[in-house]
Amino acid sequence: MALCAMSASGSGDELKAETETLKAKLSQVQHTFLEEWSGDMTAAMAEQKKRHEEVMRKGKEDMEALKTTLEQLKGQAKTNQKVMEERIGKMKQLREDIGTVTTETDSLLREKELAMEEMKSMQEYIQKQKELITAQEQATHQRLDELQKASEWFKDRLGIQFKKTSGNRLQMVFTCIDPKDTSRPFFFSVKIEADGTYTVSDCEPEIENLPELVEKLNATNNFRSFVITMRTLFKAKVCG
């Protein structure tokens, strides 16, 4: 029994010793684990901090670059806005210029149309004047021919001669009127105007009612009767 007690006492000491040993090993393992974990954790934290700082630095650089880019974009936007405003101003001015040119062009076209119409009217007027002048020239030539024919008749029967004088006038000279001087001339000048009317001038001797006779001549266009009347009046001057 004493042996059993000693055995039990010895077993208890061994168990205690093993327990202490186990505790020491656990404590050592725990310490080792904590040291290793703490070291790993510290290294990881340091690495994480380093990465964080790198990320922050990179982020700051990116932010600065972005800020610079943003400022550049703002400046470019202002420049673009200024350029756009200038272009809008130029476009507005261009529209105004186009409007002015269009108005001036329309005005010029209208003036051209009016000028063409006026030119057409003028050409028509000139053509009518040419036709009128031609007709008057034909009438004048016809009257001159009639006068030429009449001159022969008057010369043969009434002692009348025709002479051309200055200013396209035709002078009619009468003789054989004065019984005392058959060569004494009695005369007047006749001119046919552009409108076909007669004018009489340089009458010698003077006939008092000559204007009325010329007016009647232009009304009747009977030149032969006018010449006979003038000769009769000249003769009355001598015989009266």
Query: Which residue ranges make up each domain of the chain?
Result: 143-239
Phi, psi of 169, deg, nearest 5: -100, 155
pLDDT tens readout for residues 62-83: 888 878 887 887 888 788 788 8
Pairwise pLDDT comparison (59 vs 2), residue with the higher score:
59
Residue 205: cis peptide before it, omega within 30 degrees of 0: yes
Question: Is the peptide bond prior to 179 cis by the omega test (within 30 degrees of 0)?
Answer: no
What residues are paired with 190 via a beta bridge?
170, 200
List pLDDT tens digits, range 185-220. Answer: 999 999 999 888 999 999 999 999 999 999 999 999
Task: With H, G, I as helix, E, B as strand and everything else as coil, classify residue 193.
Answer: coil
In this structure, what are the phi and psi dihedrals at residue 173, rounded to the nearest 5 degrees? -110, 125
Q: Please state which CATH class domain 143-239 belongs to.
A: alpha beta
Contacts of 235 (CB under 8 A, 6+ apart): 177
